[in-house]
Amino acid sequence: MLSVIIPSFNEEPNIQNTASVISGVLDENGIDFEIIFSDDGSRDNTWREITLAHEKDPRVSGLRFSRNFGKESAIWAGLEAAKGDCAVVIDCDLQHPPKVIPEMYKLWQNGAEVVEGKKSSRGKENGIYKAFSKLFYKLIASASGIDMADTSDFKLLDRKVIDAILSMQERTTFFRALSGWVGFRSETITYDVEERAFGERKWTPKMLIKYAIKNLMAFTSVPLYLSGVLGGIISVASVILFILKWCGVSMGSFGGSQILLLLTGGLILICLSIIGRYLAQIYEEIKHRPKYIISDSIKSQGGQND
């Protein structure tokens, strides 16, 4: 059986259509499935729509968080609830095309244990967002050795891969990187990003920056090493300023020592900020609080619908 995991936050207009489209595609291809909506503390009527979708098709189930815990937690909850031999994670707005799922399923039947959905186009994204995404994935790739260019959360995982990911104890997780880090036999399938069926984009620039910083620090310690690089820059700058001053180069009323003090102070604050963020993340981990809290749930009846 295939488990379809759909993290959902304020997706009231999309729930019924998403459940109908996905179940239609899988029924046409004779794939036994269950659909799991993870309601990440939505403030609209998302949960009511999930309940109605379950009444129409008992293969649809739902998990309702007590508050908003974030997409990573919603994916994790879906993986823990999944009963299938493999699972697909897909966005609720259908920008990840459901028509690709049967192709991913066939690759899994042929032995693939991870099927990565890779974007052949990014749809209508502004230039700043595209540039920011490329920079973020380059940093992750250089730190981990995992090529994440144009990847997404849209992927299929074999049961053994799901169990390997769920065995990890850290609280702060980055799903699309962990699925590559665990290894296993991987295949890639490309897709074009579709337009949202209903509703608006939920991610604001502030949320994206926060998400990127959090996941970068959760998956790599490279930023900590930047302190040493910045220290080297200070040393080189101080030597250059000393040489210039010794050679009699005029710097006006603003002396070399003042420049060096400003440079040093700024870089020290940057380094302290990086270290502080890692300490905050360590603090969150050692508290061992749950990734999410479920306030309500609807169980599916997996299998072909009669």
What CA–CA distance (Å, rounded) separates 15 from 35?
A: 11
Nearest residue to 62 via CA among 43, 72, 45, 77? 77
pLDDT tens track, the chain, 306 positions: 999 999 999 898 999 999 999 999 999 999 999 999 999 989 889 999 999 999 999 999 999 999 988 888 899 999 999 999 999 999 988 888 899 999 999 999 999 999 988 877 655 556 665 666 666 666 656 555 566 555 678 899 999 999 998 888 777 777 777 777 787 888 888 888 777 666 566 555 665 566 666 666 666 666 666 666 666 676 677 667 667 666 766 655 555 566 667 667 767 767 776 777 777 667 666 766 777 788 888 886 655 544
Residues in the chain: 306
The H or E element spanning position 236 is helix 222-246
User: What one-letter code names the amino acid at 215?
Assistant: N
According to the model, what pLDDT value does residue 169 have? 77
DSSP 106-118: HHHHTT-SEEEEE
What CA–CA distance (Å, rounded) separates 170 from 160?
A: 19
Cβ partners under 8 Å of residue 20, min gap 6: none
DSSP 12-77: TTTHHHHHHHHHHHHHHTT--EEEEEEE-S-SSSHHHHHHHHHHH-TTEEEEEESS---HHHHHHH
Nearest residue to 31 via CA among 111, 106, 112? 106
The structure's pTM equals 0.69
According to the model, what pLDDT value does residue 306 have? 42
Taking residue 102's Cβ as centre, other Cβ atoms within 10 Å add up to: 16
Q: Are 221 and 150 in contact (CB under 8 A)?
A: no
**68 exposed, middle or buried (CB, 10 Å; 0-12, 13-18, 19+)?**
middle
